[in-house]
Amino acid sequence: MTRILITGGSSGIGLALTRRALARGWNVSWISLDPAEISAAQDALKADYPDADIDALCVDLTEADAIDRITQWVKKTAAPDILVNNAGIGFFGASAQLDPAREQAMIALNISALHAMTRAFIPLMEKKGGTIANIASNSAFQPVPFMAVYAATKAFVRHYSLALDRELTEAGSNVRVMTVCPAAVKDTPFKGAAGMDGLRTFDSFTSTTADEVARDVMRGLDGRKRFVVSGAKMRAVYILTKLAPAGLVQAIVRREVERV
């Protein structure tokens, strides 16, 4: 049976991906932060998947001992076939006016924790092989005013993951890395928590849903893809923006982060 471990699995993209994994009969585990959210999500899933038994570890991925706790927890069962580094946070606002501690929190979770998880799980997954799916964002494609640090963290995820996958392939590793860049997801708690309610991007032509992202992740896993842009409309725009002048792309990006 395929084993999948999802960080931030109890909400948003992680929860949508969980539903698709359970529909395939996979074994699902979560690493999430909020015990109440974990419990509520597990209960909600029971309605559709009464036999679902989701093992969850409640841990803050940015804590100093988080990786040691996680690896010890995983070793009690078996290494996953798929690790999805999905947990992340964002904050909206002018960087010079945001609390620096909030920006550091983004860097700690979106970059440092993802990097630490990836490095820790490569040796754990090497023997039987597997895939690490790192969730970046369409914000990784260009600088985004008023989301400067968030977009920069996702650019790191994209660059690091693509380069690491190439290194592992050339080394003959049994572990692959898949980079996923979703469009703005309009139906998750993320935009509210990030202070992004009312931003044009969540209601734009390219916006997507958590389930569409989960579907694209599954298709990427099935097709052994290195790079996935989600959803369908974002993929078309991604191709067009590669051909458009940089100034035009930046103007479009600036408009997307206006409140409507």
pLDDT at residue number 257: 66
Q: Which range scores top for mean pLDDT: 13-22, 42-51, 138-147, 242-251?
A: 13-22
How much is the average pLDDT of 121-131?
Answer: 97
CATH number, residue 7? 3.40.50.720
Query: Does residue 243 carry a pLDDT above 90?
Result: no
pLDDT at residue number 96: 96
Average per-residue pLDDT for the chain: 92
Q: What is the tally of structural domains in the chain?
A: 1
pLDDT at residue number 196: 85
Q: What is the 3-state secondary structure (H, E, C) of 187-219?
A: CCCHHHHCCCCCEHHHHCCCCECHHHHHHHHHH
Over residues 220-229, the pLDDT tens digits come to: 999 999 999 9
Phi, psi at 257, each rounded to 5°: -100, 20
pLDDT at residue number 129: 97
Token pair 């927890």 is at which residue? 73
Query: Does residue 236 carry a pLDDT above 80?
Result: no
pLDDT at residue number 259: 59
Over residues 161-201, the pLDDT tens digits come to: 999 999 999 999 999 999 999 998 999 888 888 888 888 88
Beta strands in the chain (DSSP E): 3-7, 27-32, 55-58, 82-85, 130-135, 175-182, 227-230
Query: Does residue 256 carry a pLDDT above 70?
Result: no
- Alpha-carbon distance of 235 to 47, in angstroms, equals 34
Work out the pLDDT band at 254, boundaries 50, 70, 90.
low
How much is the average pLDDT of 253-257?
Answer: 65
Over residues 44-101, the pLDDT tens digits come to: 999 999 988 899 999 999 999 999 999 999 999 999 999 999 999 999 999 999 999 9
How much is the average pLDDT of 30-51?
Answer: 95
How much is the average pLDDT of 118-130?
Answer: 97
CA atoms within 13 Å, Cβ hemisphere of 102: 17
Query: pLDDT exceeding 70 applies to what percent of the chain?
Result: 91
How much is the average pLDDT of 138-166?
Answer: 96
- Alpha-carbon distance of 109 to 115, in angstroms, equals 9
pLDDT at residue number 207: 87
Query: Does residue 35 carry a pLDDT above 70?
Result: yes
Query: pLDDT exceeding 90 applies to what percent of the chain?
Result: 77
- pTM higher than the cut 0.85: yes
Using an 8 Å Cβ cutoff, are 179 and 157 in contact? yes
Tokens of 151: 């977009």
Using an 8 Å Cβ cutoff, are 154 and 139 in contact? yes
How much is the average pLDDT of 231-247?
Answer: 68
pLDDT at residue number 203: 81
Using an 8 Å Cβ cutoff, are 157 and 136 in contact? yes
pLDDT at residue number 191: 82
Q: Which domain holds residue 35?
A: 3-256
3-class state of residue 135 by DSSP: strand
